[in-house]
C-alpha cells in the first residue's frame, strides 16, 4: 500500500496478496499498525498529496488523481477534514514558508508530518458538529 497508495486496496485484495482470509488480515493489520487498513491508506494518500502540493506546481485536480482520488470534491473534503485546511491553502502556506528541511529524505518528512487518524473521518465530523450544537445551545442560554 505504501508503494502504490494511489491504487485501490480493498481488504479482499490485501488478504489475497497476504494469503490469509479478509477477516484475519483486517484484524492482524489493525493489531500491527494500530489503525484499520482503510485509515492507513487515507494517511498515506494525504501524506503524498501534501508532498505534491508542497513540492510541485501540479494543479490540485492532478494531485487528487495522482494520489488515488476519483473525485476532486471528495479529495478536498477529506483533505480538509484531516489537515484542517484546503489543499490550496496548504499549498500557499507551504510555498510561503521557507523550509530548512530541504535535505531531509521525503520518508522522514512524511513521518514527521503524518496526519493523526486515530478516529475515522466520519467520527471527526460528528464530533465537530456536536461541538457546534453544544456551542449554539450554550449561546442560546
Containing structural domain, residue 61? 46-140
Contact (CB, 8 A) for 87 and 63? yes
State the average pLDDT for the chain: 82
Q: Is the pTM of this model over 0.75?
A: no
Give domain status of residue 3, yes or no. no
Give domain status of residue 8, yes or no. no
pLDDT at position 86 is: 94
pLDDT at position 65 is: 94
Give mean pLDDT, residues 58-79.
93
Give mean pLDDT, residues 16-22.
90
CA distance 87 to 81: 11
pLDDT-derived band at 74 (thresholds 50, 70, 90) equals very high
Give the pLDDT confidence of 23-57 residue by residue, as tens digits.
999 999 999 988 899 888 898 999 999 999 988 99
pLDDT-derived band at 141 (thresholds 50, 70, 90) equals low
Give domain status of residue 21, yes or no. no
pLDDT-derived band at 67 (thresholds 50, 70, 90) equals very high
Give domain status of residue 2, yes or no. no
Number of domains in the chain: 1
Give domain status of residue 99, yes or no. yes
Give domain status of residue 38, yes or no. no
CA distance 116 to 95: 23
CA distance 2 to 71: 21
Give domain status of residue 10, yes or no. no
CA distance 121 to 117: 8
Give domain status of residue 37, yes or no. no
Amino acid at each position: 500500500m505504501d508503494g502504490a497508495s494511489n491504487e485501490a486496496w480493498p481488504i479482499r485484495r490485501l488478504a489475497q496478496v497476504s494469503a490469509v482470509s479478509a477477516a484475519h488480515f483486517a484484524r492482524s493489520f489493525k493489531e500491527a499498525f494500530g489503525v484499520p487498513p482503510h485509515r492507513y491508506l487515507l494517511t498515506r494518500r494525504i501524506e503524498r498529496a501534501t508532498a505534491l502540493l508542497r513540492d510541485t506546481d501540479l494543479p490540485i485536480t492532478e494531485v487528487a488523481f495522482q494520489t488515488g482520488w476519483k473525485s476532486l470534491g471528495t479529495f478536498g473534503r477529506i483533505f480538509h477534514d484531516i489537515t484542517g485546511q484546503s489543499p490550496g491553502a496548504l499549498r500557499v502556506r507551504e510555498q510561503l514558508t521557507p523550509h530548512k528541511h530541504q535535505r531531509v529524505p521525503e520518508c522522514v518528512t512524511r513521518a514527521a508530518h503524518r496526519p493523526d487518524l486515530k478516529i475515522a473521518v466520519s467520527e471527526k465530523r460528528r464530533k465537530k458538529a456536536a461541538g457546534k450544537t453544544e456551542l449554539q445551545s450554550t449561546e442560546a442560554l
